[in-house]
Amino acid sequence: AIRHVAPKLCPSAAVLFADLVGFTSLAAQTEPWTLVHYLDRLFGQMDAACQAQRVEKIKTIGDCYMCVGWAEDSEDPITSASTVLTVASKMHSIARQVPLNGSRLFLRAGMHTGTVVSGIIGKTKLAFDVWGDAVNVASRMESTGIPGATQVTADTYELLKDKEVFVERGLVEVKGRGKLQTYTTVESLHTPEDDQIVEPEASNAVQMFYNLLTATEDRPGVQ
């Protein structure tokens, strides 16, 4: 039996979206197995980065990664926003270290801090998710962002301006919100870690899935 899970309101959450620049065009030229292989390795490292900072991964959609930092009673919004930005910086480094078909891809990330509601909806393939204007704005920060940097709203900037280094980008047109003042992080374009190119390796789960898929395709009578 499916039990109802009550939604939870969080007055202040730091929401991050990160997307690979140029992934779609490269994906069109890449074998499906290589593509899944790559994403599994990439997102696996991003999962580890989130766990290290106690930031919660929400989901992946294609090559887009979403995570949230919760400001609990014992933790102020500045701390949660700072940890999410730390994760974003690590994600930029990870993307540069894990190549796709020999090409290093840049990450474009966006972040906003605000009120969200979390919960589980539907009756099949249940998944935890987060909703609210803060989620929509964070997504727009990513889609209008700059490759190799994390774009943040003025709200997030005010929380972190004394802790992090930002560059004022100016007004950016955001669908449904008009023009918003935004800022971007200053990411290092090269770090010693970037020299350590990590060739993707598939997890056991992905390998098992691929073996099952190819076995089904080769079976007589299966179209």
pLDDT digits (tens, 9 = 90+) for 45-86: 999 999 999 999 999 999 999 999 998 754 689 999 999 999
Model confidence at 197: pLDDT above 50: no
Place of tokens 């390998």: 207
Section 100-123 average pLDDT: 92
Is residue 85 within 8 Å of residue 25, measured between CB atoms? no
pLDDT for 85 equals: 97
Whole-number Å distance between alpha carbons of 106 and 218: 37
Whole-number Å distance between alpha carbons of 91 and 216: 35
Place of tokens 């449904």: 176
Question: What is the residue-averaged pLDDT of the chain?
Answer: 85
Model confidence at 184: pLDDT above 60: yes
pLDDT for 176 equals: 87
Q: What is the pTM of this model?
A: 0.83
Query: 131 in helix, strand or coil?
Result: strand
Q: How far is CA 18 from CA 21, 78, 84, 140, in A?
A: 10, 20, 12, 11
Q: Which token pair is 213?
A: 């898929």
Cβ neighbours of residue 79 closer than 8 Å, sequence gap 6 or more: 71
Per-residue model confidence as pLDDT tens digits over 125-160: 888 999 999 999 999 999 999 999 999 999 999 999
Residue 218, H or E segment: helix 204-218
Q: Which token pair is 134?
A: 């803060």
Query: 197 in helix, strand or coil?
Result: coil
Strands 64-70 and 8-20: antiparallel
Place of tokens 């926003």: 81
Q: How confident is the model at residue 44 (pLDDT cuts 50, 70, 90)?
A: very high
What distance separates the 2 farthest-apart alpha carbons in the chain?
65
Sign of CA dihedral 130, 186, 147, 198: negative
